[in-house]
Structure formats: C-alpha cells, structure tokens
Structure 1
Amino acid sequence: MDFEQLIGDLIGGNIVLILLAAFIIVCILVGVRIVPQSEKFVVERFGRLRAVLGPGINFIIPFLDRVAHKISILERQLPTMAQDAITSDNVLVQVETSVFYRIIEPEKTVYRIRDVDGAISTTVAGIVRSEIGKMELDQVQANRTGLIMAIQDQLAAQVDDWGIEVTRAEILDVNLDAATRAAMLQQLNAERARRAQVTEAEGKKRAVELQADAELYSAEQAAKARRVSADAEAYATQVVAVAIAENGLEAAQYQVALKQVEAVNALGSSQGSNTVVLPANIVDSFGDAFKMLKGRG
C-alpha cells in the first residue's frame, strides 16, 4: 500500500512538473514576439497603448500585454484619384492624381484615424481644387511640377498628426471637356497659322534687306572705281602741268606732235588701207617734232 502511494505521489509530482513546464513554455511563446523588418506591432495592456515593437526579437508580459495591431511600414500607393476642379479663368478640368506614403508612427495611425486611404484621398481632392483655382489653364498645363510640389507640401503638413509620411505625389493627367478641347485646338491652329505668316514675312523682309545690301555694295564698289579713275586722271593732269611748268610750252607741243605721229602711223599700218588721209599741218607737226628732238639732243 505504501508502494502504491509512493508511485501515485511520483506520478502526481510529474504531472505538476509537466504542467509547470508547459506553462513556462506557453509564457515564453506568448511573451516573445519576433517582428519582421517591414512591420511594427502595437501592444496594448488592458485596452491601452503599452508599446510599439520594432523589427527583431521583443518581449511582452504574457496574459497582460497583447499585440493589438500589426502595421506594415512599407511604402503604399493610393489608387488613382480623379477630381473636378475649376481654374481661375473658369475652365473645368478633371485631374488624375496618385499619392505614395508610408506609416512611420503606427500608434498615431491606429488611434487617430480610421480610414487612412480615404482620409488622404479627401485631403488631396481639397488641395487640388484649391491650388488649381488659383491658376489659369495654361499655367496648369505648363507648371505641373510646381502644382505637384504644392500638393505634396500641403498634404505632408495636414497628415502629420496621423503618423504618415508623404513620399511622393503625382499628377497623371489633366483632362478637359470636349468643347474646351475643340476651342483649344482651334486656337492652336490659329497660332500655328500666325507663326507661319510671321515666318514668311520675316523671310521676305530678310530677302529685301539682302538685296538692298547687295545693291549698296555694288554702288560702293562702282563709286570706288570711279574715284580711282578720277584720281588717275587728276594725277596725269598734274604730271602734265608739272612738265609744262618745268619745261615750258615746248614740252606740251612735243607731246601733241608725238600723239599725231602715232595716230598717222596706226592709220597707215591698218589692214586694207590704200589711201592715207593726212591733216594739212602734218608737215609742220613733223618739223616741230624733229626740231624739239634736235633741241633735246
């Protein structure tokens, strides 16, 4: 009987040890939390925020603390949103936007906002309408980068209380209604026609300018040629005048007599000339020339 009681006590003691070991194992399993690199765990104790667990091995108090929320901290992209807006020149446009963000403070996101994506979409719609209302249609088309920066800065300031970081905002497209598109196409065609006319007029103007430049250059060159000829004649006249001044009238008469002799010689040597016409004073001219030559000798 004592042996059976001893066996029973041993078995009962083992069961207690087994239960105790099982309880310890369960506490370890419940108390140890391994958080992935891409997530953060929000821990509550009796319904209140206790801690935020980062990536790696973390410990909590079993049965008192519990992981209430597992939040991904990866960057997220909102679905493409389209909202209508009116520019300052009263043109209705439809703007398609997309926003990228990530959660950096999960405790704020969990306890301050219910639908993060919906709240961001509503905020973006309001910002887009406000910013486009300050701009004309041409500015919306041309200054898309400035509009994106304005949306991103204002959105980042408004969602800061939700523990969210806006990493990027994009304007994918700006759509117009059919009537506005037709009016813009007509205006574009008119502008192209105007530019073509301006280009043609500038080409004609340039051609006239080049023609005028060519005529002016030709006139300048002709004037220079006449000036050179006049200078040569003046120089020759000056030489004759100097010769007359130095040698007297006989030098001039000598030159004239030589010219007459050269003319008669040329006339006599020409082909087909059988008759030679001589001036009446040709003998006197020869005599004067010989006299002068003799005097010079």
Structure 2
Amino acid sequence: MNNDFNIMWVVAAVVVLLLLIASVRIVPQQSVYLVELFGRYRRMLTPGLNFIIPLIEQVAHKQSMRTRQLDVDVETKTNDNVFVIVRVSVQYRVSNETAVYNAFYQLENPEWQMQSYVFDTVRAQIPKQNLDAVFDNKDSISKDVKEQLRDTMEEYGFEIIASLVTDIDPDQSVKDSMNQINAAERERRAAEHKAEAEKIMLVKQAEADKESKILQGQGIAGQRLAIAEGLRDSIAMVTDQANDITSKDVIDLLKFTNYVDVLGSFDTAASKVIMLPQPTGQLDSLSSDILSAMEAAKDSKKDG
C-alpha cells in the first residue's frame, strides 16, 4: 500500500514538473510572442521570463522586432523596348509592440503583399523611361516604391525603413552594345584630344619658326650693316694714308680676301663640297659692278 502511495506521489511530482516546464516561456530580446487561449488572442509576451497556462494557452506567433530585408526581382521593359531585371531591396520592421497584433492577424503573408506593391510600382515607372533614364533615375524609383509601401503597410503595423534599387540588369546583348558605344565614344574623344594636341604642336612650331626667321633676318641685316660699315671705314682709312691707292684697288683686295676665306671654310674633313676654280674675269666684273654702284651713290648725293 505504501509502495503504491509513493509511486503516485512520484508520478504527481513528475506531472507537476512537466507542467511547470511547459508553462515557462523565455522570450529573446527584440521579439514578441502572441498567446492564444483556445484559438483566441489573449495576451502578448515581452522579452524575458514569462509563464503561460499549459495545455490551455499556446504561443501562436513569434514576431521579431528587428529590421528585415526583402529582395524583389522585377522583370519589365523600358520605353525603348529593352527588357531589364530590376532588383529592389526593401528594409522593413514591425513599428512597435502594439502593432504586432495587426501585423500577424491582418496579413497572411506580409512579404508577398509588399512584393506585389513593388512589382506594381516598378512596372508603372520603368516602361515610361528609356534605358539610360532608368539608370539615371534609380533614386526616383526607390522613392516611389518606398512611398507606395509606406502608405499601404503602415495600417498593418509595418514601418518601411528604406527602399533601394540595388541592380538594373539588362540583357547581355544590350550590355555588349552599350560597352561598344562607350568604347567608340572614348576613342572619339581620344582622337579629338590627340588632334588638338597635334594642332597645338604645329602652331607652336610655326610660331617658333617665325620667330627664328625673324631673328635670323635681323642677324643677317645686322651682319650686312656691319660689313658695309667695315668696308666703308677700311676704304676711307686706306685712301687717306696712301693717295696712290684707288678705291678699285681696295675693293679688289677685300674681294680677294673674302674669296680666300670662303675657300678655307670648305677645307674640313666632313665637307662634301667640290670647289671649281673661279675665273678671275668674273671677279673683275664683280668689282666693276661694285665701283659703278659706289659712283652712282656719290652722284646721287651730289645731286641731292
């Protein structure tokens, strides 16, 4: 009899222990549990140690309060008939603990609900724009998606943190064509810059040649002026010191001296110039021309 009594106490203690264990619910941080009594919402368990009535109450839903992300791939066509896949990432969370009731009991699948609105918004915006405009207006598309989701999902207890267009993926053939267009554009710009650089070099070279010729002309003019003044002084000096020497004799001497100097300048190892003897008659003719010019100059001064 005592053994049966002891066994009953042991069984009762085990049952109580099991019921006690079944009644304990530990809710982690940033989570909320919904408790139902016979299928009807009863209360909410907040983070920490909680107890429920075993076999009567049950946890119907475990809601995380953390921010989550939903990635949606939308295939659509642009205004210039290019099919693209647009990836939209929606970051959302349940706004507060009191909104958990609406988030669970009013929406069967909130992710599918948000995905439908993303599809609707993106497919309403992309077909109005060309492919280039789609890439340029990513921020505008993201803003429209966020506003649409926010206006719809707030009444169900969800807060839309952000909506981002993370990728726009056209067909591979379109990518190849775009790359070819970009490459051709870069080559055109490179050719323009190269031509402009060559133009600048030619202009600078022409300016340098111009300045060089100007300086060269000024040097030759100065050289000729110095030679003329030297000849004038030499003739005056010789005729003053020796009355029996005529202007013709001085010019012949200077002419012969210059002739010899020129011949000496060709006498180098690297010279490839072949000199032919100069007839003396031509030198006499040259001197006669010079004397005639000098006499004409004197006559013109006297007449003046």
TM-score, normalized by length of structure 2? 0.57
One-letter amino acid matched to 1:95: I
Q: Map Cα deviations across residues 246-287 of structure 1 (whole Å, 9 max, x no partner).
A: xxx9758438699569549959x9999xx9x99xxxxxxxxx
Equivalent residue number for residue 170 of structure 2: 175
One-letter amino acid matched to 2:75: Q
Percent identity for Structure 1 against Structure 2? 20
Q: CA deviation at 1:220?
A: 1.3
Equivalent residue number for residue 246 of structure 1: none
> Which residue of the other structure, out of 25, 44, 47, is the alignment partner of 1:55?
47
Q: CA deviation at 1:109?
A: 1.4
Q: Map Cα deviations across residues 132-178 of structure 1 (whole Å, 9 max, x no partner).
A: 24532112234546544553454345323333355664544433597
> Which residue of the other structure, out of 43, 46, 50, is the alignment partner of 2:35?
43
Q: CA deviation at 1:125?
A: 0.3
Q: Map Cα deviations across residues 23-49 of structure 1 (whole Å, 9 max, x no partner).
A: 865764454321244743112357654
Q: Does the alignment pair 1:136 with 2:126? A: no
Equivalent residue number for residue 221 of structure 2: 230
Rounded to whole Å, the distance in 1 between the matches of 2:135 and 2:72 is 19
Pick closer, same or farther for the CA change 1:51–1:264 going to 2, 3 Å.
closer
Q: CA deviation at 1:130?
A: 2.7
Deviates more, 1:17-26 or 1:70-79: 17-26
Q: Does the alignment pair 1:68 with 2:60? A: yes
Rounded to whole Å, the distance in 2 between the matches of 1:206 and 1:221 is 22
Rounded to whole Å, the distance in 1 between the matches of 2:67 and 2:167 is 19
Q: Does the alignment pair 1:126 with 2:126? A: no
Considering only CA atoms, is the larger Rg found in Structure 1 or Structure 2? 1
Question: Contact 2:74–2:86 at 8 Å: present in 1 too?
Answer: yes
One-letter amino acid matched to 2:132: D
Pick closer, same or farther for the CA change 1:162–1:228 going to 2, 3 Å.
same
Secondary structure class of the residue paired with 2:108: coil
Structure 1 runs not aligned, ≥5 long? 1-6, 244-248, 279-297
Equivalent residue number for residue 160 of structure 1: 154
Pick closer, same or farther for the CA change 1:44–1:188 going to 2, 3 Å.
closer
Equivalent residue number for residue 254 of structure 1: 240
Equivalent residue number for residue 151 of structure 1: 145
Number of aligned residue pairs: give it. Answer: 254
Pick closer, same or farther for the CA change 1:19–1:219 going to 2, 3 Å.
closer
Q: CA deviation at 1:232?
A: 5.5
1:269-280 → structure 2 map (5 Å cutoff): none
Rounded to whole Å, the distance in 2 between the matches of 1:197 and 1:95 is 31
> Which residue of the other structure, out of 163, 188, 210, is the alignment partner of 1:219?
210
Question: Contact 1:103–1:109 at 8 Å: present in 2 too?
Answer: no
Secondary structure class of the residue paired with 2:211: helix
Equivalent residue number for residue 273 of structure 2: none
TM-score, normalized by length of structure 1? 0.58
One-letter amino acid matched to 1:175: P
Q: CA deviation at 1:218?
A: 1.2
